[in-house]
Structure 1
Amino acid sequence: MRHFNKLSKSIPDQIALLQECGMVIEDGEQATWALSQISYYRLRAYWLYYEAEPESGNHSFREGTTLEAVLALYEFDRHLRLLLMDALERIEVAARGAWAHQMAMVYGPHGYLNAALYPRTDRFQANLDQLQSEYDRSHDVFVDHYKRTYNNPPLPPVWMAAEFISFGLLSKFFSALGGRADRKAIARKIGFDDRVFQGLMHHLATVRNICAHHSRLWNRRFTVTFPIAQNPANLANTIAPQADRKLYNTLSMLLHTMGTVAPESDLPSRLTCLIEENPTGDFAAMGFPTDWRERPLWADLCTN
């Protein structure tokens, strides 16, 4: 542990520092705009890729590194996040609907609150406390109506809960269910078996948070992973086990899921076009295997 003693730097000083480290900056106005509107620290996540020895503490750039290249990578990542948010929204809505329908049809409007459905009472109570907190914070019209109209049960029916529950908490309620038949019925509507879907929900909740906070995505190493799918065959033959913490497998799972929840969407083709435009040309940094264009879920998209 040591005392933080770095000083604040003005935009001109930031530009000078980057040039001292070897970055080519030909347009001073563009550099000033980028550093003031995006920020030095946010862009650093992208020019780190261009540093010659990023792990050594030497921040010198590889020869020929330009600010334009860094900004192109930043824009690529920004568009990638926007596309993923589109896909994640569709998947999240489908998961909410599948959960609400299963619980309502089998256990009734408030059956999801029955502690007997959840073997771990401590986890159920923690989830229930968080749900109560999310309910208390919500000011949706339907929530306010329930609060004004009913006092028992204190929480609304599952189809209302499905609209305000966070995706992360939804994944916890799903994982906590003791009945595998319920988990299988819910997961099947999204195109997975319950074991894979359970891990995938947790993973996608973290990806959603990354996108929502505008964080770097393109070459991130994820800490939360999901089980490798063994079926259907086209998904199993697309997934790259060696890339279990990389974006490639996440995107492949999204392609499969979109085929189930939004088969008419053009998002898969738009995503493929964007990936092909990766300005670094480094597909391995995202976990893409060399033959990714020939793998089942990508093959048709790459030829169209």
Structure 2
Amino acid sequence: MANLKPHLSYEDQLIKLENRGMIFSDLDRKQAQKKLANVGYYRLSGYWYPFRKLKIPPPSDKLESRRNENFIENTLFSNIYKLYLFDVKLRNIIFLGLERIETYLKAIIAYELGKISPTAYKDKKIIDNNSHDKHDNWLNNLNILIDKNKSNDCIKWNIEKYNEIPIWAIVEIWNFGTMSKFYGILDDKYKVAICKSMKFLRPNSKNVKLSLKTSLEYLNIIRNRCAHHVRLWNTSVSNNKINLEMFDNLDLNVANLNNDSPELYRIAGIIYMIWSFTLRISEHSDWLETIVNHINDPYYVNAVKYSQMGFNNGSLIGINNLLKLYKQQTT
């Protein structure tokens, strides 16, 4: 087992990067040290990893890095830092989209299940027959969440007055994961009701119900990465199948997507997914324009490898066409 690497001063960190081929000529040395101090060598290393040379031949061990320590020619530290800034803003825009989706879905779940009873979320009758154990675990985690939020005015008032918390109140303390897992264990009847409220063209479709479950799981992963400031721009998610019936309110020909598109499982696919959800909430939104403007910003063009975001062959044509079509339809 290897030994941990020793601590290095900021100057020694710069020297180490220079020795591996990184260029600092367009930056004052003190500026470069300040950026390392503000962000951290280790965090930035995730952004310069794609700029390291590939090993030839590639390693057979999957745990071994595919890249060596040396940088591709003309790798500028300033471009690495731009990529970091690009990612920070990307996370903020993505997070705003997810926030709106979370609020929307919690409202739909509360409305549809509130028709059954104020505490329907506790009832095994609404749960898939094969998911009762999962429901027990979910309820245990919910009780922990309630305990953590016992000073919340909404929770406190309902417990003191009714000794119960109705679903339209308790969703206020759910996080995205709580909501995602709850949808996943519901009986099909209630999944269909939620899909109908979300205006899916075929809410009874198995593809829609299953893909919505998978989509919420994906979005929960992305939401957590955003909340914890984890690198996002070239992230990938599990390749559990998402059927394109999920995107039945988007023109997929314009976006150049099909069921086998690898970008569905990269950040490009997450953008399409958030946009599809957003249009179910409101026909008028500037979210896509905001993110497209950010991705197209010439300030970042030399720093961002768009193919690693999942855009087909590094092309932004699909997402630009989607925005163009939306503007045509709403003007």
- Is TM more than 0.5 here? yes
Give the drift of 1:85: 0.5
Q: Partner residue of 2:108?
A: 98
Partner of 2:133: 122
Instruction: Tell me which of 223, 237, 240 is aligned to 1:208.
Output: 223
Partner of 2:204: none
- Counterpart position of 2:19: 20
Aligned position for 1:276 = 296
Is the CA contact 2:126–2:190 (under 8 Å) kept in the aligned structure 1? Answer: no
Aligned: 1:187 with 2:216:
no
Aligned-partner SS, 1:220: coil
CA shift at 1:265, angstroms?
Answer: 2.1
Q: Deviations over 1:215-271 (max 9, x none)?
A: 111111223655122352735433352223211111111112111213322111111
Q: Gaps (5+ residues) in structure 2?
A: 56-64, 201-207
Q: Does 1:162 align with 2:187?
A: no
TM-aligned CA deviation for residue 285 of structure 1: 1.1
Amino acid at match of 2:47: Y
- For 1:88, what is the secondary structure of its paired residue? helix
- For residues 247-286 of structure 1, the aligned pairs below 5 Å read 247-277=267-297, 278-279=300-301, 280=303, 282-286=305-309
Pick aligned residue for 1:132 from 115, 121, 143? 143
Work out whether residues 222 and 245 of structure 1, in 8 Å CA contact, stay in contact via their aligned partners in 2: yes
Tell me which residue corresponds to 1:47: 48
The percentage of aligned residue pairs carrying the same residue is 24
Asked if the contact 1:53–1:59 (Cα under 8 Å) also holds between the matched residues in 2, the reply is no
Query: Taking structure 1 as reference, are residues 226 and 79 closer, same or farther at Cα in structure 2, changes over 3 Å only?
Result: farther
Q: Which amino acid aligns with 1:142?
A: C
Instruction: After the TM superposition, list the runs of 4 or more consecutive aligned residues in structure 1 that deviate by more than 4 angstroms.
Output: 301-304
Which residue of the partner structure matches residue 325 of structure 2? 300
Q: Which runs of 5+ in 1 are unaligned?
A: none
User: Aligned equivalents of 2:33 and 2:326: distance in 1?
Assistant: 39
Change beyond 3 A, Cα 1:84–1:226: farther
Number of residue pairs the alignment of both structures matches: 298
Matched residue of 1:52: which SS? strand
Aligned partner of 2:158 in structure 1 is 146
- 8 Å CA contact 1:23–1:61 kept in 2: the answer is yes
Q: What CA RMSD, in Å, does the superposition of the two structures yield over aligned residues?
A: 2.3
Secondary structure at the counterpart of residue 53 of structure 2: strand
TM-score, normalised with respect to structure 2: 0.83
TM-score by length of 1: 0.90
**Which of 306, 310, 315 is the aligned partner of 1:287?**
310
